[in-house]
Amino acid sequence: MTLSPVKRAFKYRFTPTDAQAAELSRTFGCVRKVDNLALAARTEAWSRQERVNYNATSAMLTAWKKTEELAYLSGVSSVPLQQALRHLQSAFTNFFGKRAKYPRFKSRKKSRRSAEYTTSGFRFRDGGLTLAKMKEPLDIVWSRPLPEGVEPSTVTVSQDAAGRWFVSMLCEDPSVQPLPATDTVVGIDVGLDHLLTLSTGEKIANPKHERRDRVALARAQRSLAHKAPGDGANRRKARRKVARIHARIADRRRDGLHKLTTRLVRENQTLVIEDLTVRNMVKNRKLARAISDAAWSDFRSMLEYKAAWYGREVIAVDRFFPSSKLCSHCGKLAQSMPLHVRTWTCEGCGTTHDRDVNAAKNLKAAGLAVSVCGAGVRPQRRTPSGQSATKQESPRREP
């Protein structure tokens, strides 16, 4: 099976010169300003039951540049400004399609500092990248090569809260091709004691990246809290220190998830996971920190797009499926299964189960049912006599 080349982003660190940093900072500010002006104009029009599209905001941008108050918008490349308007158009399209919330205004302190350039806004030549309005190429740390013979279609420059500069290049990667098909199926149960438990019985430890830096993070946050309010140099320095610790945690977490998801996709044809609503689960104040550190949503996202790249299949089983309470040997449903119970014995067949391994095996079986015959994966209802009924309902989810 041959698919069209996959579009893939390659992200690199770079160190700008003082002139480049100043130019990029001006560009970030202008992008934020244009985005907020266009959002305000569209919101005002919406209050009058009118719709403003990208073409209208593009014409507004031309008019804004001619005013004395906003003449500084002409001092930066127009490409990132136009891209900001296109992204705003996409945000409204998703909003009207009920796929996203209403777009929000960007904050100078909290919003992501970034600017996107299309092919007319940069020059990529002899391994060097030069952006519009700049004379010298960026000093990029090429941690890995771009695919041979390809050039970026878009370039996004950003600066994170820790002060690090990044450039992300979107390219077609012809090296990403479907892997040879296999007959291996694996059920994957996510958890906190162990990050993943596979239906094969393998348990993958939870690195708990945030816990490793918790003391240093708490110390840095206390130092930040003691700084005088405002935008003073000491407060900026303390804020940057907190951001560096958060960035270090996120980098380690992302690296571990990439290695883990790549391995699972390469080894298995079908991967069965549970369709968890993480945003609801983190409302539990006792588990929110641990759940956020485990990054189950990131794990699923990586698993899904890598499976699409390599010709694999990811099946998400309904979140109400009682994978922990269902005996994977005889199919009998246990009455209850408190979270502290890690091993249990089935009353029907006497089989002793490890809670997580049993759940992974049930997920695998449920995924096979969906894959083979398209059966719905819903929980079984308990009758007063303890037998499973044919009719199905949705009991409360067991963690």
Is residue 274 flagged as an active site residue?
yes
pLDDT, mean of residues 223-242: 92
Residues 6+ apart with CB under 8 A from 179: 265, 266, 310, 311, 312
Question: What are the CA-CA distances from residue 7 to residues 147, 151, 265, 307 (Å)?
Answer: 11, 11, 18, 14
Is residue 231 flagged as an active site residue?
no
pLDDT digits (tens, 9 = 90+) for 25-63: 999 999 999 999 999 999 999 888 888 899 999 999 999
Catalytic residue among 274, 293, 304, 398, which? 274
pLDDT at 374: 54
CA distance 111 to 132: 23
pLDDT digits (tens, 9 = 90+) for 328-368: 888 888 888 888 888 888 888 888 888 889 889 999 988 88
CATH number of the domain at 178-206+240-399, please? Answer: 3.30.420
Pair 364, 187: CB distance under 8 Å:
yes
Residue intervals of the chain classified under CATH 3.30.420 are 178-206+240-399
Question: What pTM was estimated for this model as a whole?
Answer: 0.84
Q: Which of 211, 396, 221 is nearest to 321 (CA)?
A: 396
Catalytic residue among 35, 189, 210, 398, which? 189
Q: Which of 310, 147, 269 is nearest to 302 (CA)?
A: 310
Pair 332, 226: CB distance under 8 Å:
no
pLDDT, mean of residues 188-215: 93
Is the pLDDT at 389 greater than 80? The verdict is no
Percent of the chain's residues with pLDDT above 70: 92
Lowest model confidence (mean pLDDT) among 35-49, 176-190, 289-303, 373-387: 373-387
Catalytic residue among 210, 304, 356, 398, which? 356
C-alpha triplet 384, 387, 391: angle, nearest 5°: 90
pLDDT, mean of residues 150-172: 95
Task: In the chain, count H helices and then E strands.
Answer: 10, 16
């209403």: which residue's tokens?
Answer: 102
Q: Average pLDDT over the chain, rounded to whole? A: 88
Residue 128 carries which DSSP code? E
Is residue 160 flagged as an active site residue?
no
